[in-house]
Amino acid sequence: MLTLLGDTGTEPRPDTQLAALTLAVAADLPVLLWGEPGIGKTAALTQLAAALDLPLTTVIASVHEPSDFAGLPVVGDDPAVQGVPMAPPDWAVRLARTGRGLLFLDELSTAPPAVQAALLRVVLERRVGALRLPAGVRIVAAANPRSSAADGWELSPPLANRFVHLRWAHDPDVVVRGLGGTWPRAELPRLDPQRLSGAVELARRAVCGFLTARPGLVHQLPANETRRGGAWPSPRTWEMALRLTAFATAAGASREVLSMLVRGTVGDGPGLELLASLDRMDLPDPEDLLAAPATADLPERGDLRQAVLDAVVEAVRRRPERSRWDAAWALLARAVQTGAPDLVVVPATTLATLRRDDWDVPAVVERLTGAVSLARRADHATARVAAAGAGR
């Protein structure tokens, strides 16, 4: 019966969580998986270790003493001359002997503060007592939220700031198919050698440009104790975000994967701002659009298209000329033809205010009037419906 129950198969299935975890491990950054008990964090680590052909070493942090990570003092023949070395535990010695492996620190949120303090050097410097773990060892930890952890503690800010925090959730469809005998087999992301240098240049330009514009986010320790135990911005985590952006770009990872990684290092707010900044780096130059409005290639996504149109109007504002003003109207007309008309309402209204007395209204404005008027009426109708619903 046990043999029959264990007879299961696999099927290829994309997995955003596993892709993010794999990229963080490939970038040699410590990862912390947050999730409720029993949702498959350990199973994901087992699958990843097998896929990467790495031996898995599991250490339950909550049942160890600080000396198990800081090392036990061993008195030699002449301590005054030789000192007292800090002997590492057996699991660290096995990893050092093997030269490679995946160190899984489980139940991290139930480890008391003294153990968390001892883990600081393990996580950041890869040192266990007097032993330095080899470069081929990767570190992944798992934790339950304090509300569902047995005698749980909040993570200390110094330890939390050393991890990439990934929220781990279960997919009901995957669970149902797995219980039926077919579990998913995720395709792990691979770095494209041809994109490595470009990915590094893009990541550096994105992070440095963003922090130049938002210097207040270089270091921002949260005031809330719970948030201090998660992802928040510091010079260390921005360096992690830069590295992960480069790896995700070189692997051609999806926006969802990149979002998980960036928000898992610097937090949701700063992470989303960086992602928005990355989007804008790929937007077309407003001057190029004004030079050839009839053949302009506008972004498909509504928020990016809105940003492009606003940038075009701002470019005309900075250098108001009749030809540029006419070109901006032609570009707005193209935007109406190829996308939602409501995105043109604000840019068109602003562009109209830039008109000089001796500038004739271009014929294209007549074609825009109906679309803009319809979009405004739709907005007003939506607002009325929302107000009526709130009044009930």
Is residue 4's pLDDT more than 50?
Answer: yes
Counting Cα atoms < 13 Å in the Cβ hemisphere of 198 gives 9
What is the C-alpha to C-alpha distance for residues 267 and 46, in angstroms, rounded to an integer?
27
Is residue 304's pLDDT more than 70?
Answer: yes
Nearest by Cα to 44 from 20, 28, 75: 20
Q: Tokens at residue 154, please?
A: 């909040």
The mean per-residue pLDDT over the stretch 336-340 comes to: 82
Please give the pLDDT value at position 34: 92
Please give the pLDDT value at position 392: 54
Nearest by Cα to 327 from 290, 377, 302, 375: 290
Is residue 206's pLDDT more than 50?
Answer: yes
Instruction: Output the DSSP codes for 135-156.
Output: TEEEEEEEE--GGGSTT--PPP
The mean per-residue pLDDT over the stretch 33-45 comes to: 85
Is residue 265's pLDDT more than 90?
Answer: yes
- In the chain, helix, strand, coil percent, each to 5? 60, 10, 30
Q: How many CB atoms sit inside 10 A of residue 206's CB?
A: 22
Q: Tokens at residue 211, please?
A: 């922090």
Please give the pLDDT value at position 381: 40
Please give the pLDDT value at position 372: 55
pLDDT bin (cut points 50, 70, 90) of residue 299 is confident
The mean per-residue pLDDT over the stretch 25-41 comes to: 89
Percent of the chain with pLDDT over 70: 89
Is residue 375's pLDDT more than 50?
Answer: no
Please give the pLDDT value at position 275: 92
pLDDT bin (cut points 50, 70, 90) of residue 333 is confident
Over the chain, what is the mean pLDDT? 84
Name the most confidently modeled range: 1-10, 244-253, 307-316, 358-367. Answer: 244-253
Torsion of CA 50, 52, 55, 61, to 10 degrees: -90
The mean per-residue pLDDT over the stretch 74-91 comes to: 70
Is residue 390's pLDDT more than 60?
Answer: no
pLDDT (tens digit per residue) in 234-263:
999 999 999 999 999 999 999 999 999 999
Lowest mean pLDDT of 82-86, 104-108, 186-190, name the range: 82-86
pLDDT (tens digit per residue) in 347-361:
888 888 888 888 887
pLDDT bin (cut points 50, 70, 90) of residue 11 is confident
Please, what is the angle between helix 235-250 and helix 268-281, to 10°?
50
